Chain A
Amino acid sequence: MPFKIISSQCTGCSACETECPNVAIFEKGGTFVINPKKCTECIGHFEEPQCVAVCPVDKTCVVDTSLPRAQPPA
Chain B
Amino acid sequence: MDAVERGSRAKNARDGGEIVLAAEPKRSGTSTGRGKASCRAQAGRGDLPPATWNKVKTHPCYSVEAHHHYARMHVAVAPACNMQCNYCNRKYDCANESRPGVTSEKLTPEQATKKVLAVASRIPQMSVLGIAGPGDPLANPDKTFRTFELVAKAAPDIKLCLSTNGLALPDHVDTIARLNIEHVTITINMIDPEIGARIYPWIFYNHNRYSGIEAAKILTTRQLQGLEMLSARGILCKVNSVMIPGINGRHLIEVNKAVKSRGAFLHNIMPLIAAPEHGTVFGLKGQRTPTARELKALQDACEGEMNMMRHCRQCRADAVGLLGEDRSAEFTKEKIVTMTVNYDPEARKAYQAGIEEERRARIVARRENSGEHAGGTSDIKVLIAVATKGAGLINEHFGHAKEFQVYEVSRSGAKFVDHRRVGHYCQGGHGAQDDLAAIVRSINDCHAVFVARIGGRPTSELNKAGIEPVDQYAHEFIENSAIAWFSSYFEKVKSGKIQHVDRGDGAIRQDPMISVA
Contacts and interface: CB of A to CB of B under 8 A. Distances in A.
Contact of B139 (A11, A15, A48, A57): A15
Chain B, interface size category, equals: 10 to 19
Interface string A56-69: 11100000000000
Majority secondary structure of chain B interface residues (helix, strand, loop or mixed): loop
Contacts of A52: 209
B80 A15 contact: yes
B299 to A, nearest CB: 30
B207 to A, nearest CB: 6
A50 B207 contact: yes
Interface string A9-21: 0011111011100
A53 B204 contact: yes
Nearest to B93: A11
B106 interface: yes
B204 A12 contact: no
A60 B72 CA distance: 35
Interface in A1-50: 11-15, 17-19, 46-48, 50
A54 B204 contact: yes
A26 to B, nearest CB: 14
Given A53-B204, A54-B204, A15 B209 contact: no
Contacts of A57: 91
A53 to B, nearest CB: 4
Interface in B178-208: 201, 204, 207-208
Given A53-B204, A56-B84, A13 B209 contact: no
A46 B90 contact: no
Contact of A13 (B81, B201, B207, B208): B81
B135 interface: yes
A17 B143 CA distance: 13
A42 to B, nearest CB: 9
Majority secondary structure of chain A interface residues (helix, strand, loop or mixed): loop
Contacts of B209: 48, 52-54
B79 interface: yes
Given A47-B208, A54-B209, A12 B79 contact: yes
Contacts of B208: 46-48, 53
Interface residues of A, number: 18
Nearest to A49: B209
B82 interface: yes
Contacts of A11: 79, 90-91
A53 B83 CA distance: 10
Given A56-B84, A56-B90, A14 B79 contact: yes
Given A11-B91, A15-B139, A56-B90, A46 B207 contact: yes
Contact of A15 (B81, B106, B207): B81
B180 to A, nearest CB: 26
A53 B91 CA distance: 18
B333 to A, nearest CB: 13
Given A18-B80, A56-B84, A13 B204 contact: no
A57 B84 CA distance: 8
A29 B204 CA distance: 26
A66 to B, nearest CB: 26
Contacts of B83: 56
Given A46-B207, A47-B208, A53-B204, A13 B135 contact: yes
A58 B204 CA distance: 13
Contacts of B81: 13, 15, 56
Nearest 8 interchain pairs by C-beta: A15-B80, A53-B209, A11-B91, A13-B79, A54-B204, A14-B80, A13-B80, A56-B84
25 contacts: A11-B91, A12-B106, A13-B79, A13-B80, A13-B81, A13-B90, A13-B134, A13-B135, A15-B79, A15-B82, A15-B135, A15-B139, A18-B80, A47-B208, A48-B209, A50-B207, A53-B207, A53-B208, A53-B209, A54-B209, A56-B81, A56-B83, A56-B90, A56-B135, A58-B201
Interface of A: 11-15, 17-19, 46-48, 50, 52-54, 56-58
Given A11-B79, A11-B91, 6 more contacts: A13-B90, A15-B79, A15-B82, A19-B207, A56-B135, A58-B201
